[in-house]
Amino acid sequence: MASTLKDAAATALETGRDVKDSVTEFVRSATGRIDTVRDQTGDALHAAASSVRKGSAKIDVLAGDAANRLDTTASFVKDADLRSLSAGLRRFGQNHLTFTLLVGAAAGLWVGSTLSRGTRTN
């Protein structure tokens, strides 16, 4: 019986390590995708600001203000430090593995339920 408990504990420990590695890889992959989208969004906002600046002479002042706000937003998006946020989330996930798994499972169930409702036809 003692060896069975030791085997179960070893299996649980190994499963925990596998889950931790999977979560770490998922976060690393998601961070890369977020960085790419963040850069693309910033570039698109800069392009929109440029397009607004080329607008009608009648709305130059308003267009300039809007363009400046778009540029400010684009700079904020491009300069956002998502790596430190990602590192913090990774540490939280490693320190609170059970909670992280439960939240992930709940989110997966919610997304699956939402998607299955969206594909049903009456």
* Sequence spans of domains, the chain: 2-119
Q: What is the pLDDT of residue 93?
A: 85
Average pLDDT estimate for 110-115: 88
Torsion of the alpha carbons at 114, 115, 117 and 118, rounded to the nearest 10: 120
Which pLDDT band, with edges at 50, 70 and 90, does 14 fall under? confident
Q: What pLDDT score was predicted for residue 2?
A: 62
Q: For position 58, what pLDDT does the model report?
A: 57
The span from the CA of 110 to the CA of 122, in Å, is 21
pLDDT value of residue 57:
56
pLDDT band at 121 (very low <50, low <70, confident <90, very high): low
In this structure, what token pair is assigned to residue 122?
């009456």
Handedness of CA 24, 26, 32, 36 (dihedral sign): negative
- Please report the pLDDT score of residue 47 as a whole number: 86
Q: End-to-end distance of the chain based on CA atoms, in angstroms?
A: 56
Q: How far is CA 109 from CA 15, 55, 63, 112, 113, in A?
A: 22, 47, 45, 5, 6
- Alpha carbon distance 74, 72 (integer Å): 5
- Mean predicted lDDT score pLDDT of the chain: 80
Residue 1 above 70 pLDDT? no
